[in-house]
Structure 1
Amino acid sequence: MKSYALVTGASGEIGQAIARELADQGYNLYLHYYQNKQAVEKLQIEFSSAVDCKLVNANLADPEGPHLLTEQIKTPIDVFVYNCGSSHTGLITDVSQKELDGMVQLQLKSPFQLIQQLLPSMIERKRGSIVMITSIWGQTGASCEVLYSMVKGGMNTMVKALSKELAPSGIRVNAVAPGIIATKMNDHLSGEELEAISEEIPIGRFGLPEEVSDAVGYLISKKASYITGHILQVNGAWYC
């Protein structure tokens, strides 16, 4: 029977790298996107000769998003990677109710609801791997990123709790917590700001999307068969 993986946020740089890693491991794919359909269509063409690749669309910052996404899934899922790159920068006093609700939905409620809907088939088959892409700020917190730190911290705790609940069913749950990765998510930073951050990182540079996807690839592999409930830091020793 073919093994399928679901990757959310597959249109972003990290999501694309994760999709390529899973395709290299032989997984057939469901690639989720919200707005950038062109990016996932390119991946679909790229993978066409190697694996089955289906595109699924949903706004996971909307309460209806998880249900709309799972309605498009027609096969049991063996690997679920929850990857959403949306962040929020600003003072806590400037966060609107809409921003608060959207971020909590995207980073906490949607992964929770998707896991609820994907789990029955994993439990029935006594196998599965879930990997959440969290953040360094979910572990250490960041000034002016209180909302983002809060939801990513909640995601890390969910990983630890869920791993204990699902281990008897043969399902592993882990997270990858990147530091700053060279993606468009940092486009709001000036050249001087980017240089200053690089100088703070002991390894001396930003991470690459492929370094995040390598970590995901390891966590879902048989080499990590005894690893569950782990938050794998990928941050160049920055705030570790």
Structure 2
Amino acid sequence: MTINRLEASGRQAPYCALVTGASRGIGAAVARRLAREGVGVIVHYHRSREQAEAVAAECLALGAPFAQAAAADVRLSADIAALKTGLEQAGRMPDILVHAAGIAHYGLLEDLAEEAWDDIQHVHLKAAYGLAKRFGPTMSWRRHGRIVHVSSVWGVVGAAGEAAYSAAKGGLNGLTKALAREMALAGVTVNAVAPGLVDTDMLAELEEAELEALREEVPMKRFADPDEVAELIRFLTLGGAGYITGQVIGLTGGWRM
């Protein structure tokens, strides 16, 4: 069943979701999950065009009324502006915005180059600012919208060896709460999900012995599946979550509570 909204013209239009970083991992899982609910999906990518187009094709096969891959470097305000212009011209301004794009850096702060610090802040935090600034006003005008930031448990408790990532996700959590206050009266909810260890290629740099040691730390003795994160985001965007806003919701299997 396609989920629709009523446009000012009086016609019904399917919901549209913009998912950043949707060519792989959590972003791709979110795109597929929303597609199964009949939501049209904009599969954002930066460099992985073929992967993004494959995810878009999957979304169509799963029931999305439309799905397209869209390129942008979310670190750049000009790219986000161009993305908005393209979607606006196509009549596909998002009702749902999920910011899942992300990068990681492992190493001590004393060895972290300033350029790497800036890059991490821009992908996670500056991008969230730019996306909300460009797409939030249309949601407010429609008196309905859902924004979800994919954060991390490290944004809550911090991680040695991941200072830049922890700082970026902590900032994202603060932005989530501030935006939720600003947009509440317009009917727009803003939340963050903060997963712990998720079985994606962000863990690819770790040796199997390191992965096993991490599994042992998790009370449930396993990593989260990206589909489990996607299911939580589905609830926040399409479920009965209209009174939930400004929350950072953990998904950790009991790890780092």
Indicate whether the TM-score tops 0.5.
Answer: yes
Identical amino acids, percent of aligned pairs: 36
Structure 1 stretch displaced more, 48-57 or 90-99: 48-57
The answer for unaligned runs of 5 or more in structure 2 is 1-12
How high is the TM-score relative to the length of structure 1?
0.96
- Looking at structure 1, the residues matched to 59 and 198 of structure 2 have their Cα atoms a distance apart, in angstroms, of 25
| Residue-pair matches, total | 240
| 8 Å contact kept, 2:150–2:193 | yes
How big is the shift at 1:63?
4.9
Aligned with residue 99 of structure 1, among 97, 116, 141: 116
State the AA in 1 paired with 2:45: Y
**What residue is the counterpart of 2:41 in the other structure?**
29
1:110 aligns with 2:110: no
How high is the TM-score relative to the length of structure 2?
0.90
- Looking at structure 1, the residues matched to 129 and 173 of structure 2 have their Cα atoms a distance apart, in angstroms, of 12
Aligned with residue 68 of structure 2, among 54, 57, 73: 54
State the AA in 2 paired with 1:211: E
| 8 Å contact kept, 1:58–1:69 | yes
CA offsets per residue over residues 155-209 of structure 1, 9 Å max, x none?
0111111111111010000111010101111111001100000000011111100
Structure 1 stretch displaced more, 39-48 or 207-216: 39-48
- Looking at structure 1, the residues matched to 250 and 110 of structure 2 have their Cα atoms a distance apart, in angstroms, of 30
| 8 Å contact kept, 1:159–1:173 | yes
Aligned with residue 79 of structure 2, among 45, 65, 73: 65
CA offsets per residue over residues 73-120 of structure 1, 9 Å max, x none?
222210000002311111111111211221111111111011101012
- Post-superposition, which runs of at least 4 consecutive aligned residues in structure 1 deviate over 3 A? 61-65
State the AA in 2 paired with 1:6: L
Change (3 A) 1:88 1:68: farther
Change (3 A) 1:105 1:63: farther
The answer for unaligned runs of 5 or more in structure 1 is none
1:20 aligns with 2:28: no
Which secondary structure state, in structure 1, belongs to the residue aligned with residue 240 of structure 2?
helix
